[in-house]
Amino acid sequence: MKMGPLLGALEDSSLAPFGTLDAEITPETIDFFVSDAEGDPDCPSEGFSSIEQALNVLRQGKFYKTSSINGIFADPIVQIYVLVVIVVDDESGDVEGNLVIAASLTSPAAMAFIVKHGSGIVSVGMKAEDLERLKLPLMSPEDKDDPSAPSFTVTVDVKAGTSTGVSASDRAKTVLALSSANSKPEHFRRPGHVFPLKYRNGGVLRRAGHTEASVDLVMLAGLSPISVLSAVVDADDGSMASLPNLRKLGLEHSIPIVSITDLIRYRRKRENLVERTSVSRLPTKWGLFEAYCYCSKLDGTEHVAVVKGKIGHGQDVLVRVHSECLTGDIFGSARTGIGLGHKLRAYNLQDQGHDTVDANLELGFAADTREYGIGAQILRDIGVRTMRLMTNNPAKFTGLKGYGLAVVGRVPVLTPITEENQRYLETKRTKMGHIYGSDIQEPLAGFISPNVNDTNSSVQEIE
């Protein structure tokens, strides 16, 4: 059986399947952003409030009188509204804003404000254990397999003290009942007018959704982990409110606006996402390495850091962050994941004319599903502080910001160009901004063999 390049290379120390081992002699480049101060994760995105500002308002628990709502709040009430905005960082540029309050502090007046300025649909973000306690199953069981979709349960109204269930007062009572640890399944009618939503364990670090953002915010504010949220819509045509209109609403009512992106950065900086589980010697034909194994606290996924030599003070360390791809790493596929089964389906789509980005989107995956926050924490744990990052992908620079890390230079990755992967690499350049040479068809002969069984093969320096 012919071995893949990674396994094959272990059998022949004179050749390397990729250009990574010769990176020390590869000239560094500065053809995209590098910095010795990678940015402050607590600094909000332009035009948004900081997470701390929003949490402070949540903790104060007050919403003051405003003339725009005709003095309905003549006195401060025990409630606060936080407008959460997500700006999707892809080509669609979609924006959705939700009014968010803590369920445990809900009042009829607060609910009236949400109903007036929101979509009219009032949702409640809840953890799985609370939904199970109240016997609230998912409205559509297949949603549990779709991480991109919000997971609605059956709708409810509380029985005690309500009439139709649709008034602001009735919905406030239902929300308070959902947030009470003393509530029981028999206390609710099904269906109703309040829409519970299942919060995914790990919050925005697992799924960058409004449900997760709202529950994370109230938890970070020290309140019970149950939220109320309602999407803000345009008053004229009922479409999702634009970012300028969201900012106008926030300014008019002194509501802080925060982005989910900033919330993710805030949590990543403060929370330890991985646990070191073991360290082992790893002897190879290239010398002795150390392998550090880590386990994700979010989903149990294992990650490995392979270290050659001493990191010392952690300055100017050569680093490669590699997302595993079974078909490429083990089977030696030149079309290099999204998992073995999905990758094979993607191959079929590519054979039908799709490129790698279109194939991923067709299967329901993002163009690039990689997550670099875990890697950043691992690098910090093993002692890296500044690095020369081995990559052709500018996204890795932003993905590794924060955590006290700094990127001080880039080392290009050298990889074989074959008939099978040439289109893949060109798609990475044109659609995802990877940095390649102007002509990837021109091979760089005699540098590193892409196939350990063919010493005459050549590779291209991807620059």
Residues 6+ apart with CB under 8 A from 377: 268, 272, 273, 274, 403
> How far is it, in rounded angstroms, from Cα 201 to Cα 228?
18
Q: Considering 216, 262, 329, 368, which one is annotated as catalytic? A: 368
* CA angle (173 as vertex; 171, 177 as ends), nearest 5: 115
**From the CB of residue 385, how many other CB atoms can be counted at a distance below 10 Å?**
17
**From the CB of residue 356, how many other CB atoms can be counted at a distance below 10 Å?**
24
- Which tokens sit at 415? 């990889």
Q: Considering 59, 189, 345, 370, which one is annotated as catalytic? A: 370
Alpha-carbon torsion 31, 35, 38, 39, what sign? negative
- 3-class DSSP state for residue 422? helix
> How far is it, in rounded angstroms, from Cα 401 to Cα 421?
30
- Phi, psi for 205 (deg, rounded to 5): -75, -15
Active-site annotation holds for 410: no
Q: Count the helix, strand and coil residues of the chain and give each as a percent rounded to the nearest 5.
A: 30, 20, 45
- Phi, psi for 89 (deg, rounded to 5): -90, 60
Active-site annotation holds for 368: yes
Q: Are 258 and 267 in contact (CB under 8 A)?
A: no
Pairing of strands 62-63, 77-78: antiparallel
> How far is it, in rounded angstroms, from Cα 428 to Cα 361?
14
> How far is it, in rounded angstroms, from Cα 451 to Cα 415?
11
Range list of H helices, 322-390: 326-329, 340-351, 356-362, 373-382
Tell me which amino acid residue 132 is. Answer: E
> How far is it, in rounded angstroms, from Cα 213 to Cα 293?
30
The angle that helices 108-117 and 168-179 make with each other, rounded to 10 degrees, is 110
Catalytic annotation, residues: 368, 370
